[in-house]
Amino acid sequence: MTTTLHPMVRAEQVHKSYGQLEVLKGIDLEVQPGEVFCLVGPSGSGKSTFLRCINHLEQINAGRLYVDGDLMGYRERNGKLYELKDREVALKRRDIGMVFQRFNLFPHLTAIENVMEAPVRVKGESKQAARERAEARLAQVGLADKAASYPSQLSGGQQQRVAIARALAMEPKLMLFDEPTSALDPELVGDVLDCMRELAEQGMTMIVVTHEMGFAREVGDALVFMDGGVVVESGHPREVLTNPQHERTRAFLSKVL
């Protein structure tokens, strides 16, 4: 890993509204390279929205959001913001992998084709090279034997692991996980969490929206508790989870722990 001086993600007073409804009311935070950063909070607290702002699936209304030192979605020149073109945004998104709650695998492609798609189309890798690397990626998530299966033939846990392999195929600097285990049967959650734990051990920078407090405690390096569109409390996961300072955090944790 190269040492970088700037944080992987820096949010300064990020605001986001849907019409009249303001879902993010000024988020400030920093995610350091190599860190596993957990976002927890009740549903509707804005944590998923914030995650989607990071790779510009949602556009923020105020504040600044930097990824790997660059402003996301805009170019700033002489104090003025210019929107980036579709192609330029796509270029930035290559470095940010994302894993969705509902997997969002491409149902018309097999597992290995799902993993190969972006390296071939976006990076212009040859099919042969991409296939070999995709096979390695699938093996890494324990699904070498499922390469030829269509998503509908896989269990939820297997689909999510293919989705992780698909995101990793672009060799991202940052991985975003949007409640990756919330749509899974309890039996299958462990496989996906193991996969993420392994990724964390390899030094991947990860931002994880999750309700899995056990995972946050064991693997997380930093944790932020959000509610009502603001950061209520932040710190090391073990400290926040065992000794929450804020009343709202305490009330939430008493329900989920």
Partner 1 sequence: MTTPQDTTPGVPPTKERPEDIRAVPVRHPGRWVAIACIAVLAAMFLHAMITNSVLHWDVVGQVFTYPTVIQGMEKTLLLTLCAMVLGIVGGVLLAVMRLSRNPVLSGVSWLYIWVFRGTPVLVQLFFWNFMGAIFPKVGLGIPFGPTWVSWNYNDLVPLFMVCVLGLGLNEAAYFAEIVRAGILSVDEGQAEAAASLGLTHAQTLRRIVLPQAMRVIIPPAGNETISMLKTTSLVSAIAFEELTRAGQDIGARTLYIIPSLIAVSLWYLLFTSILSVGQFYIERHYGRGTNRALPATPWQKVKSNVLTLRLRSTGNTGGTIGGSL
- Taking CB under 8 A as the rule, does residue 149 contact partner 1? no
d(CA 188, CA 240): 27
For partner 1, give the closer residue by CB, 143 or 167. 167
CB of 57 to partner 1, least distance (A): 6
For partner 1, give the closer residue by CB, 140 or 149. 149
- Taking CB under 8 A as the rule, does residue 127 contact partner 1? no
Query: Residue from 87, 186, 247, 254 that binds partner 1 (CB under 8 A)?
Result: 87
Q: State the pairing for strand pair 174-178/70-71.
A: unpaired
- Taking CB under 8 A as the rule, does residue 100 contact partner 1? yes
Those residues with Cβ within 8 angstroms of residue 186's Cβ, 6 or more apart along the chain or in another chain:
none
Applying CB under 8 A, which part among 19-27, 97-105, 181-189, 226-234 lies near partner 1?
97-105
Applying CB under 8 A, which part among 59-67, 76-84, 104-112, 226-234 lies near partner 1?
104-112
DSSP states along 37-102? EEEE--TTSSHHHHHHHHTTSS--SEEEEEETTEESSEEEETTEEEEPPHHHHHHHHTTEEEE-TT
Tell me, what amino acid is at 91?
A: L
CB 222 within 8 A of CB 237: yes
Applying CB under 8 A, which part among 5-13, 92-100, 212-220, 234-242 lies near partner 1?
92-100
d(CA 179, CA 156): 13
Query: Residue from 59, 69, 82, 102 that binds partner 1 (CB under 8 A)?
Result: 102
d(CA 149, CA 5): 43
CA torsion 9-13-18-23 (nearest 10°) is 90
- Taking CB under 8 A as the rule, does residue 51 contact partner 1? no
Angle between helices 156-168 and 111-121 (to 10 degrees): 20
Q: Residue written as tokens 């998104």?
A: 93
Query: Residue from 36, 65, 118, 130 that binds partner 1 (CB under 8 A)?
Result: 118
Query: Residue from 27, 31, 105, 219 that binds partner 1 (CB under 8 A)?
Result: 105
Which of 125, 126, 123, 116 has the alpha carbon at shortest distance from 169? 116
For partner 1, give the closer residue by CB, 137 or 249. 137
d(CA 177, CA 189): 14
Applying CB under 8 A, which part among 8-16, 165-173, 210-218, 236-244 lies near partner 1?
165-173
- Taking CB under 8 A as the rule, does residue 161 contact partner 1? no
Query: Residue from 4, 18, 61, 106 that binds partner 1 (CB under 8 A)?
Result: 106
- Taking CB under 8 A as the rule, does residue 16 contact partner 1? no
- Write out the residues near partner 1 by the rule CB under 8 A: 55, 57, 86-87, 90-91, 93-94, 96-98, 100, 102, 104-108, 117-118, 121-122, 150, 152, 163, 166-167, 170, 176
